[in-house]
Amino acid sequence: MATDCAEISSYQPASTSAQSIEDLAEKLNAYLNPDHIQEIKHAYYYAEQAHDNQRRRSGDPYIVHPLAVAYILADMRMDPQSLMAAMLHDVIEDTSIGKEALSEQFGESVADLVDGVSKLTQIKFGSRAEAQAENFQKMALAMAKDIRVILVKLADRLHNMRTLGVLRPDKRRRIAKETLEMYGPIANRLGMNTIRVEFEELGFHALHPMRSERIAAAVKASRGHRKEILDKVRLALENHLNQEGLNARVFGREKHLYSIYQKMRGKKKSFSEIMDVYAYRIIVDNVDSCYRALGAVHCLYKPLTGHFKDYIAIPKSNGYQSLHTVLFGMHGVPIEIQIRTEEMDEMANNGIAAHWLYKSSENQNELLSGSHTRARRWIQNLLELQQSTGNSLEFIENVKIDLFPDEVYVFTPKGNILELPQGATAVDFAYAVHTDVGNSCVACRINRRLAPVSEILQSGSTIEVLTAPGSQPNPAWLGFVVTGKARSNIRHFLKNQRHTESIALGKRLLNKALGSLGSSIEQLSEEQIQRVLRDTGHHNFDYILEDIGLGNRVAYLAARQLTEPAATSDTSNSADQGAPAGNTSETDQQGKDQPSPELKPPVPLKITGTEGMIISFAKCCRPIPGDPIIGHISAGRGLVVHTDACNNMAEIRESRTKCMELRWAPEVKGEFLVELRVELEQKRGIIALLANKINSLDANIEKISVEDKDIRFSVVLLLIKVHNRVHLARIMRRLRNVRPVTRVARIKNSSSWRRK
């Protein structure tokens, strides 16, 4: 369990010596009945025969590895099915025996576990990103079906890490890297601190052997002068707790090597600064004694302000519970204290495996604590991410964010607690409550005060999300959300919205092109549509409309292909039809040189201002309602609107397939950006005066820039939002009436702070 304090005792690698099946049977006698021990022995002999003549890189018989994996699970007191799966976990992958044969011999539950673990062996990290992501998705599905799959896999990886020394250096480093990147954090997420610590120590030694040895030597050298202080503080704590009538055990603790290395790197601290902190763990009988012990140690030594954390009242997301405090000890030495019960200590070390009890029936085992529920909730979140994420690389990115949480704990208005990663915002909170709440979020209250949705949340805050019907996620949210759920849901919504808007725009553009050929979408026959679908390889006409709306397919050429007779369509169809609009092809040339005799004057496309993301307004000329406008199709961006006089449209006008006539609808909604250049005499408070005049006319200022022309005169560049040309004219007239202002002009085709 990753905690704010140091980890228990210095790490000592576990023995890698082979155990016999009889040694395992003797160990299992402590909690399993003889019948189930015989079943486990049967699985051992079956695996031994299946792996006959197979050897490990060390030269040992292969069966040594499955037996060692079962031994690790026996230390966790796992159930018979898990132990049999451990014995058989490589049978499907490395032998000719299939899942059906295992199911007949050992039951469907064991066969499913073995099959789930086998699928995980193909995971690759740090090399082929796509393969890594795809295989991790398989792991999420296998874990959702049976959580014991990941426990068997962790035990398998642990024994492989213990025997890593026989491999080539490059392979050792690769395996160590993937262990530190994924398996260690997964063990931590499941609360299995003992396995996590061993993963980190073995991985650190394999990945950075010299650094590991140097830190180990430094720790050993520092133990001599630390021992006296450690013993004095421990005795003082024990005596004071006994005087208070508390039955407590006190342990001195040291950080393990990887923890020291991480803190030296992450916090930029020297070795001596980290080792100057002395840490202890106090184990008591019950929860009441935890808080009494906390009061006792605070009476003995002065607590350090802001360093108390109560993980008993609010457990960590993986079930960890403890009280944390930092004290000023004798001679001003900092002392880190963890206080917990025996059950909490067991949970901190073994996590989800801590309370796994075997039932004599054939049903699945069950957990008697909340750890199982938390693990399932985490896995369910993984599956939700998987469903809402567009691709596997995005999925793995979100999972890695989720695997490294420093939690903050916040409250809903009803008093419920939500745990979120460090740096989470109100938008992350909204999506944690419910996807619909996140999608319709418009503002928030933090501790009853209105706050921006981008504000970072602090532990203990009460968050209220304000929603509005019809509101939708803002693409800018992707710049500050930190949870995978929020990020994937925002992207999913925007992707669907873009898809819908692209189809709508594509339909309008195609209808316009068909209109010039004397037809329309409604007049197209099913045969015409099916012919084009065959030619393009699409199975749905919406995909063609989406391509047109995104600018990846030219509307005029699509219209020609739809309206041409079948005989000529087959010969005129070319690969260029599906090419982006920016490409020039022979087909384009044919369309220009040989126009259809049925061509009619094109009807300008109406712009309403509510089309969404698929229609954008050029920043070079910033058109507003009332301006004469023209447009062009940009590949991947859809329709870009320019003013008719825009200099950048000169070349595009030559292509009739890329350029189109546009006009504003009678009723245009929304606000549009426009740039103004204001020349004025320098005067105190003039910027505030300009802002006040603009605000009084219901316009927003997006940006202000001031350029000094000379000692007396300045130029102010304004980027403001207006409704139309009439609105702009009123603003310009009001600004000209300001006494120091000498000239007001709208900027067109200018690069002033446009690309800043």
- As a whole number of angstroms, the distance between CA 472 and CA 495 comes to 12
CB-based contact 90:51 (threshold 8 Å): yes
Query: Mapping DSSP to helix (H, G, I), strand (E, B) and coil, where does residue 19 land?
Result: coil
Instruction: Tell me which of 178, 211, 244 is where a domain ends.
Output: 211
Cβ count within 10 A of residue 130: 12
- Residues 660, 730, single domain; the answer is no
- Residues 565, 705, single domain; the answer is no
DSSP for 444-475, written as a single string: EEETTEEE-TTSBP-TT-BEEEEE-TT----G
Residue 443 belongs to a domain: no
DSSP-derived letter for residue 61 is: B
Strand partners, 450: 445
User: CATH no. for residue 679?
Assistant: 3.30.70.260
What angle is formed at CA 697 by the lines to CA 696 and CA 703, rounded to 5 degrees? 85
Residue 233 belongs to a domain: no
- As a whole number of angstroms, the distance between CA 160 and CA 478 comes to 39
Quote the number of domains for the chain.
Answer: 3
- Residues 558, 681, single domain; the answer is no
Q: What pLDDT does residue 677 have? A: 92
Q: Is 129 exposed, middle or buried (0-12, 13-18, 19+ CB in 10 A)?
A: middle
Q: Which of 70-79, 490-499, 591-600, 633-642 shows the highest mean pLDDT?
A: 70-79
Residue 270 belongs to a domain: no
Instruction: Tell me which of 148, 181, 211 is where a domain ends.
Output: 211
Short-list 145, 161, 151, CA closest to 190: 151
Q: What pLDDT does residue 125 have? A: 45
The answer to which of 22-26, 422-426, 443-447, 508-512 has the lowest mean pLDDT is 508-512
The answer to which of 41-55, 323-337, 347-361, 374-388 has the lowest mean pLDDT is 347-361
CB-based contact 626:642 (threshold 8 Å): no
Residue 38 belongs to a domain: yes
Residue located via tokens 């010299």: 210
User: CATH no. for residue 165?
Assistant: 1.10.3210.10
pLDDT digits (tens, 9 = 90+) for 467-502: 988 788 888 888 889 887 888 888 888 777 777 777
- Residues 619, 571, single domain; the answer is yes
Q: What tokens does 755 get?
A: 């690309």
Q: What pLDDT does residue 746 have? A: 92
Dihedral sign (CA 67, 73, 79, 82): negative
Which pLDDT band holds residue 556 (cuts at 50, 70, 90)?
Answer: low
Please provide the average confidence, as pLDDT, over all residues in the chain.
Answer: 78
- Residues 599, 711, single domain; the answer is no
Q: What pLDDT does residue 58 have? A: 84
Instruction: Tell me which of 669, 698, 719 is where a domain ends.
Output: 669
Q: What pLDDT does residue 268 have? A: 82
Q: Is 339 exposed, middle or buried (0-12, 13-18, 19+ CB in 10 A)?
A: buried
Residue 200 belongs to a domain: yes
The range of the structural domain enclosing residue 164 comes to 21-211
- Residues 649, 688, single domain; the answer is no
- As a whole number of angstroms, the distance between CA 510 and CA 521 comes to 8
pLDDT digits (tens, 9 = 90+) for 373-413: 666 666 666 666 555 555 555 565 556 555 555 677 788 88
Q: What pLDDT does residue 290 have? A: 94
- Residues 75, 188, single domain; the answer is yes
DSSP for 255-281, written as a single string: --HHHHHHHHHHS---HHHHHT-EEEE
Q: What pLDDT does residue 489 have? A: 84
Q: Indicate if the pLDDT at residue 632 is higher than 50.
A: yes
- Residues 107, 206, single domain; the answer is yes
CB-based contact 31:80 (threshold 8 Å): no
Share of the chain above pLDDT 90, in %: 21
- Residues 694, 639, single domain; the answer is no
Residue 461 belongs to a domain: no
Q: Indicate if the pLDDT at residue 296 is higher than 90.
A: yes
pLDDT digits (tens, 9 = 90+) for 127-143: 445 555 555 666 666 66
| 35-64: burial string, b at 16+ Cβ within 10 Å, e else | ebbebbbebbebbbebbeeeeeeeeeebbb
The answer to which of 322-331, 399-408, 698-707, 728-737 has the lowest mean pLDDT is 399-408
- Residues 647, 679, single domain; the answer is no
Residue located via tokens 């553009």: 509
- Residues 615, 547, single domain; the answer is yes
- As a whole number of angstroms, the distance between CA 74 and CA 32 comes to 10
- In terms of pLDDT, which residue wins out, 378 or 46? 46
Residue 414 belongs to a domain: no
CB-based contact 635:552 (threshold 8 Å): yes
- Residues 726, 648, single domain; the answer is no
Residue 570 belongs to a domain: yes
The residues annotated as belonging to the active site are 93-94
Q: Indicate if the pLDDT at residue 204 is higher than 50.
A: yes
- As a whole number of angstroms, the distance between CA 260 and CA 6 comes to 9
